[in-house]
């Protein structure tokens, strides 16, 4: 089995897609009206409009209702991403902080309220 993707369902399709495009620097693949994928190395972040879920998935997901998952993005320079996100007024939940296990981590909220952790691992000599 291969873990392929996470899908976020939203009422703010363009806004949420723009946030993750800005965060990642990756041009989304727009596969249908109201559905796009941000294709990372090893996994995909799919973004779907609430209208598509209501139409094709019998309302299986509710936009902006998540309060238990954290999307995690490993980067080389957390400070650079932090500065970039500040330019778009992203809500910072935790500024760049060194975690007890060594990671440098930044927690932000996306426009739908989902938590994103942008982190780098410690350099091992």
What CATH number is associated with residue 81? Answer: 3.10.180.10
Instruction: Please tell me whether residue 95 adopts helix, strand or coil conformation.
Output: strand
Domain interval for residue 97: 5-120
Q: What per-residue confidence (pLDDT) applies to 35?
A: 97
Q: What per-residue confidence (pLDDT) applies to 56?
A: 87
Q: What does the alpha-carbon distance between residue 80 and residue 36 come to, in Å, rounded to a whole number?
A: 26
Residue 15 domain-assigned?
A: yes
Examine the pLDDT at 124 and tell me if it is beyond 90: no
Residue 125 domain-assigned?
A: no
Domains of the chain: total: 1
* pLDDT per position as a tens digit, 55-75: 888 878 888 888 889 999 999
Taking the model in full, what pTM does it have?
A: 0.91
* pLDDT per position as a tens digit, 71-91: 999 999 999 999 999 999 999
Q: What per-residue confidence (pLDDT) applies to 109?
A: 96
Q: What does the alpha-carbon distance between residue 45 and residue 16 come to, in Å, rounded to a whole number?
A: 11
Q: What are the residues facing 97 on neighbouring strands? A: 105
Residue 82 domain-assigned?
A: yes
What is the token pair recorded at 22? 């800005």
């Amino acid at each position: 089995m291969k873990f392929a993707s996470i899908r976020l369902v939203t009422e703010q399709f363009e806004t949420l897609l723009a946030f993750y495009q800005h965060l990642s620097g990756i041009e989304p693949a727009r596969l249908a009206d109201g559905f796009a994928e941000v294709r990372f190395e090893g996994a995909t972040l799919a973004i779907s409009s609430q209208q598509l879920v209501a139409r094709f998935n019998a309302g299986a997901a509710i936009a902006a209702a998540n309060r238990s998952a954290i999307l995690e993005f490993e980067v080389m320079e957390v400070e650079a991403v932090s500065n970039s996100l500040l330019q778009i007024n992203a809500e910072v939940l935790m500024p760049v902080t060194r975690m007890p296990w060594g990671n440098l981590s930044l927690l932000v909220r996306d426009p739908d309220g989902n938590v994103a952790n942008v982190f780098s691992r410690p350099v091992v000599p």
